[in-house]
Structure formats: structure tokens, C-alpha cells
Amino acid sequence: MLEILLDVNKQIFLDVNSWTRHTVVLHGFAKLYAVYGGIAILIIILVLAYITGLFGHNRLNNSTNAFLTGAAVLFALGVGQIVSHIVKEPRPWQSLHGIELLLGSQHDYSFPSDHATFAGAIITGLLIGKRYWFGLAALIFGLALAFFRIYVGAHYPGDVLGGLALGALSGVFVFWAARRPIYLLFKQLCKTPLKVFFIGLNDK
């Protein structure tokens, strides 16, 4: 069964890579989005969710959830490094010959994808925090990021699926383990001049 999944994983990568060869017009955008653009957009979405959350109702909840989403990203990336050094999966260019590689030869391990892990944590944090429109936007741009990591030849499909799953599970865990103590901490900090970071300028 595992061998079948690995074969499917490899074949999907080769199919996408074949398409990469015939879509040269996308190469410049794909490289920019796969390395920096997708991450930058996801950060902007999270920052906008935090800033808009300081207005209206549930301001303290919103700022708490935004903080926890950021914490989930860091936690997920840390766990991802541990998993990566346990699995030790080579990059596609190290295992397959003659593929279209749009990025420089990266020598760190391939599974899980850090970019997809980052995306999975942000998507999950925004959805758990009930910032649904922001979560939907993050989902769209995050899935695009995961696809383009395959498109540029940096990862197998299993790498990005594993990263998305790790990010999602990390988000669930961080919210479950830390939400109440962080909320109570921020509630106390609202009694200090730092309150502007948690409930904005309006005290009412």
C-alpha cells in the first residue's frame, strides 16, 4: 500500500512537472509566489484579521486568536523540522533526473513543506477564531502556494499535503492548549497601557 502511495505521489509530481515545461509564461510568477509571494499574502491576511478584530465586538477574543495563530505557525514549523530530520526525504531533484527545476537546488529535506505548514497553521487558526472570510482567503492563497511549491519542482504532492496537515493539527493543538491562559493573560494586560494591542483605542 505504501509503495502504491509513493508511486502515485511521484507520478502526480511528474505530471505537474511536465505541465511546468509547457507553461513558460508562468515561470516568473510561480517562482516569486512559491518563495515569497504566498507567504507575504498570508501574513498580510493575518495582520488584517488582527487589525480589523480590534474594532466592534469580541475584540479581546480576536486579538487572542490572532496571537495564537501566529504561535501555531511557529510551533508547526518547529515540529516540522523534527519530522523532517526523522523522515529525511530527499528533494525531487535529488531523486529524479531531468525534471524542470525553477528554483536553486535546495539541500534541506523535502517532507514536510515548510511553506505548506505555514499556510496550514494560518488557515486553521483563522477558521478556529471564526474569522471565516479571512480564513477563506487564506485557504485560497494557501492552496495556491502549496500547488506552486510542486510546480517549481521543490516538493512532491505528499510534502505539501503533509505540511498542510501538520499546520492544521498544530493550530488545533495550540488553540486547545493555550487559548484560555493566553486570553486571561491578555485580559490582565488590558488593565495596563498595553491594552491598545488587545482591544484597540476604544474602551467601550
Q: Are 159 and 147 in contact (CB under 8 A)?
A: no
- Least trusted range by pLDDT, from 44-48, 52-56, 69-73: 52-56
What is the predicted pLDDT for the residue at 107? Answer: 74
pLDDT value at 46 more than 80: yes
Is position 167 within any domain? yes
pLDDT value at 156 more than 60: yes
DSSP string across the chain: -HHHHHHHHHHHHHHHHHHHHT-GGGHHHHHHIIIIIHHHHHHHHHHHHHHHTTSSS-HHHHHHHHHHHHHHHHHHHHHHHHHHHHH-PPPHHHHSSS----S----S--SS-HHHHHHHHHHHHHHHTT-HHHHHHHHHHHHHHHHHHHHTTS--HHHHHHHHHHHHHHHHHHHHHHHHHHHHHHHHHTTSGGGHHHH-S---
Is position 21 within any domain? no
pLDDT value at 174 more than 90: yes
pTM of the full structure: 0.93
Overall average pLDDT of the 11-37 stretch: 91
What is the predicted pLDDT for the residue at 203? Answer: 60
Is position 1 within any domain? no
Q: For residues 35 and 175, what is the distance between their CA atoms, to the nearest angstrom?
A: 28
- Least trusted range by pLDDT, from 104-108, 110-114, 169-173, 175-179: 104-108
Is position 30 within any domain? yes
Exposed / middle / buried, residue 49 (Cβ in 10 Å: 0-12, 13-18, 19+): buried
Tens of pLDDT, residues 106-129: 778 889 999 999 999 999 999 999
What is the predicted pLDDT for the residue at 165? Answer: 97
Tens of pLDDT, residues 67-82: 999 999 999 999 999 9
Is position 3 within any domain? no
pLDDT value at 204 more than 60: no
What's the domain count of the chain?
Answer: 1
Is position 66 within any domain? yes
pLDDT value at 35 more than 90: yes
Q: Which domain holds residue 95?
A: 26-199
Is position 79 within any domain? yes
What is the predicted pLDDT for the residue at 29? Answer: 94
Q: Are 156 and 9 in contact (CB under 8 A)?
A: yes
What is the predicted pLDDT for the residue at 172? Answer: 97
Question: How far from 188 is each of 50, 155, 179, 182, CA to CA, in Å?
Answer: 19, 44, 14, 10
What is the predicted pLDDT for the residue at 65? Answer: 96
Q: For residues 46 and 60, what is the distance between their CA atoms, to the nearest angstrom?
A: 16
Is position 84 within any domain? yes
**Average pLDDT for the chain:** 91
